[in-house]
A and B are shown apart, each in its own frame.
Chain A
Amino acid sequence: MAVTSEASLRYSTHPLDKYLRADRLPHIWCSGCGIGVALGSILRAIDRRVREGSLDPSKVVFVTGIGCSARASFYVGFDSAHTIHGRAIAFASGAKLANPELQVMVVGGDGDIAGIGGNHLIHAARRNLDIIVFMITNFVYAMTGGQLAPTTPQGLYTTTTPHGNPERPLNVIKLVSALMPNYVARASITHPPLIEQYTYKALGMEGFRFIEIMSTCPEVFGRHAGYRDPVTLYNVLRSKVRVKQNPHVDESELSWESGIVLGEYLIRNEPGYVRKLKEVVR
């Protein structure tokens, strides 16, 4: 009997299929896109929590806005919401506050979370609202075809900065850290175990938890930056990122030139918003 029978090659045999709407695969993400690596790592962390009995999968809610990363919500086999651009955190906060038993997770790109959704990000972090936000940073607006993102490196060509980006990129780690939520970390799709480790940890915490995931978009960002080949872009990102134990927030600059520091920037154990509300409203 052939080792690789047709049945054994079917995607439905993947161990994470129980957390996916497998009938919707294959997904839309391009070859070399980092979102799948990020989502796989997040799901593995969820799986660990489920297997150890500390997470009920029927209480997990994925909320996303609009963009490539936002498509994650309709591939996962949990309660999920694919909402509108920039408003995933706002939608998620209503779901969490209406039913605090839910484990509400937001996944979005840097444009969705920190561009159009920046105000909601700021205030959710300030409230220490009990949700996890994953921001998958690919330095560009990819789904709409390659426009400027708040994280785009200075000087880079995009379709809306054809003469080069005159703006400084937004350091979202520093921004969110300033608001003193419970958890701020930066991972990268070049280091999947790190994503899984941070997610696993965040799932065991209350309050606002923010995980930035550096990612690769060879199709759009890579084309702009001269790294169209997925392996090349992966290797470039791999060479830019550096893991550090307990990095200081001053080291969090999002610099394509001097490198990007991964690590856990902020770990606190303050009461989350749900607990604070219970203290105030009796």
Chain B
Amino acid sequence: MKLEFMSGNMAIAEGAITAGMRFFAGYPITPASDIMEYLAEVLPEKGGLVVQYEDEIASINAALGASWAGVKSMTATSGPGFSLMVEALSLAAITETPVVVADIMRAGPSTGVPTKTSQSDVFQVRYAPHGEHLIPALAPWSVQEAYDLTIKAFNISELVRTPVILLSDAVVAHMWESAIIKDVNEVEIVNRKKPSTPPNEYMPYKPDEDLIPPMANFGEGYKVLVESLAHDERGYYRQSNDVYRKLIWRLINKVKRHIDKIYDYETYYLNNETEYLIISYGSTARSALAAVRDLRRKGVKVGMFRPKTLWPTKEEVIKEVTKDVKKVFVVENNTGKMVAEFERYIKKAEVVSIPILSLDIPTPEEILEVVSSWL
């Protein structure tokens, strides 16, 4: 364990190394490139490999291939590059391939303002990949959390056999803070479940009780079948409603079944006297918390809820933290997106969307001004 002064992107790279990632495939894009640059420098010392591919499509597909060869793998990009990766994310979902994709959000659409921040990919990571899936996404708000949530992202991906999105942004990426970097034996590292059946009995998509199939890697004699077509437990293509329903519901339910391992959040000043609740996440939550403190100094009974896991939402938590409050303000650096997700579960309190588009981050003063007008 050591205290290091570093950027959020360096922390992602360090978190990945701690988690055991040894294959990084990427394509340059601001503000994510320095993850690849940092790893290119240090990963070979750990026996790993960094390859700059011809595009983001190759990068994610190579990461999937590496994962099936038994090596924890990742890629990192920003909004435009993520758009190119979404087809392969659906492949990862149906083939149940562990992989981590860091999306360092920048201001879009399109080329937008490449060097500046945004939270406008929160729906892209959830809904852009075609077909049915439930791909978890984690959003850090600090350098320390960039490190911790990267490890968590790998652990989820290995435990549940799913792609996981690490949804950072340009501010978290390039701010410098102190962070505690741990040794491998100081943190829980999850590795994919291996088959206990002999190769001739192994079925690559036959789940255990926990809905997750053990995963054999290439080269181990199991005659693994990675199948993008809808498949039965053997991996054989079937055009059957029964097989299709069984597969898709299992893909969704295996994520839901492990929600307690996936869902994480923080609350601030939340007690039974709290009247107002601000919900904010990622870099914007830093300003939101400052605004909460200002309001409390003025005597306003306001608290804050900060989800670290953006997808999937744990419905019970949203219901619980909002059950006694009068109003909920959802502060985010986009035109109002996650508010729609939270609103689904908030039955009593009034929900107010506070979308503040800012190329830096919304300032505490901006948040204070808008929230005050609704009190």
Q: Which residues of A contact B (CB under 8 A)?
A: 21, 24, 58-59, 61, 63, 66, 73-74, 77-84, 87, 90-99, 101-102, 119-120, 122-123, 277, 281
| Pairwise interchain contact A90-B218, C-beta atoms closer than 8 A | no
Q: Of A83, A99, A102, A277, which is within 8 A of B228 by CB?
A: A83
Contacts A90-B65, A95-B69 given; indicate if A81 touches B226 (C-beta within 8 A): yes
Q: Of A77, A92, A94, which is within 8 A of B223 by CB?
A: A77
Chain A residues with CB below 8 A from B88, complex form:
84, 87
User: Which residue of the partner chain B has the closest CB to A93?
Assistant: B62
Contacts A84-B87, A119-B54 given; indicate if A92 touches B65 (C-beta within 8 A): yes
Of B51, B53, B68, the most chain A CB neighbours within 10 A belong to B68
Give A79 to B51 CA distance when docked, in angstroms: 24
Q: Give the interface size bracket for B toward A.
A: 35 or more
Q: How far is the CB of A67 from chain B (nearest CB, A)?
A: 12
User: Which residue of the partner chain A has the closest CB to B59?
Assistant: A90
Chain A residues with CB below 8 A from B58, complex form:
87, 90, 93, 119-120, 123
Contacts A74-B227, A83-B228, A123-B54 given; indicate if A94 touches B219 (C-beta within 8 A): no
Q: How far is the CB of A76 from chain B (nearest CB, A)?
A: 9
Contacts A84-B87, A99-B69, A123-B54 given; indicate if A74 touches B62 (C-beta within 8 A): no
Enumerate B44-59 residues with CB–CB distance to A below 8 Å: 44, 49, 51, 53-55, 57-59
Chain B residues with CB below 8 A from A98, complex form:
22-23, 49, 65-67, 69-71, 73
| Pairwise interchain contact A99-B218, C-beta atoms closer than 8 A | yes
5 tightest CB-CB pairs across the interface, nearest first?
A: A94-B65, A94-B62, A81-B226, A98-B66, A90-B61
Contacts A24-B236, A81-B65, A92-B65 given; indicate if A99 touches B224 (C-beta within 8 A): no
Chain A residues with CB below 8 A from B23, complex form:
94, 97-98
| Pairwise interchain contact A80-B224, C-beta atoms closer than 8 A | yes
Give A21 to B227 CA distance when docked, in angstroms: 14
User: Which residue of the partner chain A has the closest CB to B71?
Assistant: A98
Cβ of B220 within 8 Å of any chain A Cβ, yes or no, is yes
Interface of chain B, main secondary structure: mixed
| Pairwise interchain contact A82-B227, C-beta atoms closer than 8 A | yes
Chain A residues with CB below 8 A from B221, complex form:
58
Enumerate B18-33 residues with CB–CB distance to A below 8 Å: 22-23, 25
Chain B residues with CB below 8 A from A83, complex form:
61, 64, 91, 226, 228
Chain A residues with CB below 8 A from B70, complex form:
98-99
| Pairwise interchain contact B65-A93, C-beta atoms closer than 8 A | yes
Chain B residues with CB below 8 A from A59, complex form:
219
Cβ of B265 within 8 Å of any chain A Cβ, yes or no, is no
Chain A residues with CB below 8 A from B66, complex form:
94-95, 97-98
Q: How far is the CB of B279 from chain A (nearest CB, A)?
A: 36
Contacts A97-B51, A119-B55, A281-B44 given; indicate if A58 touches B61 (C-beta within 8 A): no
| Pairwise interchain contact A99-B223, C-beta atoms closer than 8 A | no
| Pairwise interchain contact B65-A91, C-beta atoms closer than 8 A | yes
Of B25, B64, B69, B71, the most chain A CB neighbours within 10 A belong to B69
User: Which residue of the partner chain B has the closest CB to A28?
Assistant: B237
| Pairwise interchain contact A74-B236, C-beta atoms closer than 8 A | yes
Q: How far is the CB of B64 from chain A (nearest CB, A)?
A: 6
Contacts A79-B219, A82-B229, A84-B88 given; indicate if A123 touches B224 (C-beta within 8 A): no
